[in-house]
């Protein structure tokens, strides 16, 4: 990575920290905080939120009928999602110890916290649980995939790809044969020594 690319990467990290601070301020303004991984609302906030709950019957009555009809199709994805979850978890359990790669913590990506919000009816809460699981699972699988890619093929593509994973920016440039041969083991060792501890609450 060039000096300029390192500077840009450092700026991205700085901006992410700044965004995290803004998010924390917004949380405080909404009357909640994270404590030991659990959401804690200020006194009376949950009761205030219940005032905004839309009953299930009214919610369904106000939903366009095509939205209701495609619901089973959306939820049918649970089968491949569960298979992906089981398979990718088994994959890293078997392969990562062989490569000496730290395993990805599933709990860092899949969270079931939105279903407890008092302003959601049971359908909305179920939808939130489902979406949280699906998108968290994709993030979990992506991290497992990105660690695998860093180990086996840490080379950038010649073509521009949309929204690459964060490890991608550290990969070797396309066509850098000397760099690949000389730095492949360095990138593997860096991966092996990554901090595998749980993410801190932001």
Query: CA-to-CA distance for 163 and 147, rounded, in angstroms?
Result: 16
Q: What is the pLDDT of residues 61-91, one digit of tens each?
A: 888 888 888 999 999 999 999 999 999 999 9
40 near 32, Cβ under 8 Å? yes
pTM, full prediction: 0.76
Q: What pLDDT is recorded for position 73?
A: 94
Each residue's pLDDT tens digit in the chain (202 positions)?
678 877 887 888 889 889 888 877 776 776 666 666 666 665 666 667 777 778 888 888 888 888 888 999 999 999 999 999 999 999 999 999 999 999 999 999 998 888 778 888 988 999 999 999 999 999 999 999 999 999 999 999 999 999 999 899 899 999 999 999 999 999 999 999 987 544 444 3
Burial class (CB in 10 A: 0-12, 13-18, 19+), 26: exposed
Q: What pLDDT is recorded for position 172?
A: 92
Q: What is the pLDDT of residues 104-130, one digit of tens each?
A: 999 999 988 887 788 889 889 999 999
Q: What pLDDT is recorded for position 9?
A: 79
């Amino acid at each position: 990575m060039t000096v300029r690319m390192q500077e840009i990467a450092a700026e991205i990290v700085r901006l992410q920290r700044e965004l995290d601070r803004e998010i924390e301020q917004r949380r405080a303004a909404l009357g909640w905080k994270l404590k030991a991984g659990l959401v804690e609302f200020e006194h009376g906030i949950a009761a205030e939120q219940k005032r905004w709950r839309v009953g299930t019957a009214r919610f369904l009555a106000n939903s366009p009928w095509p939205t209701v009809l495609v619901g089973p199709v959306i939820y049918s994805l649970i089968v491949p999602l569960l298979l992906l979850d089981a398979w990718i978890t088994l994959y890293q359990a078997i392969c990562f110890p062989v490569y000496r790669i730290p395993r990805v913590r599933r709990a860092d990506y899949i969270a079931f916290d939105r279903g407890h919000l008092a302003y959601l009816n049971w359908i909305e809460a179920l939808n939130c649980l489902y979406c949280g699981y699906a998108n968290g699972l994709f993030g979990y699988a992506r991290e497992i995939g990105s660690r695998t890619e860093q180990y086996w093929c840490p080379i950038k593509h010649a073509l521009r790809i949309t929204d690459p994973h964060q490890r991608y920016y550290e990969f070797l440039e396309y066509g850098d044969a000397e760099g690949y041969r000389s730095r492949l083991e360095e990138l593997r060792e860096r991966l092996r020594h990554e901090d595998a501890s749980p993410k801190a609450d932001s």
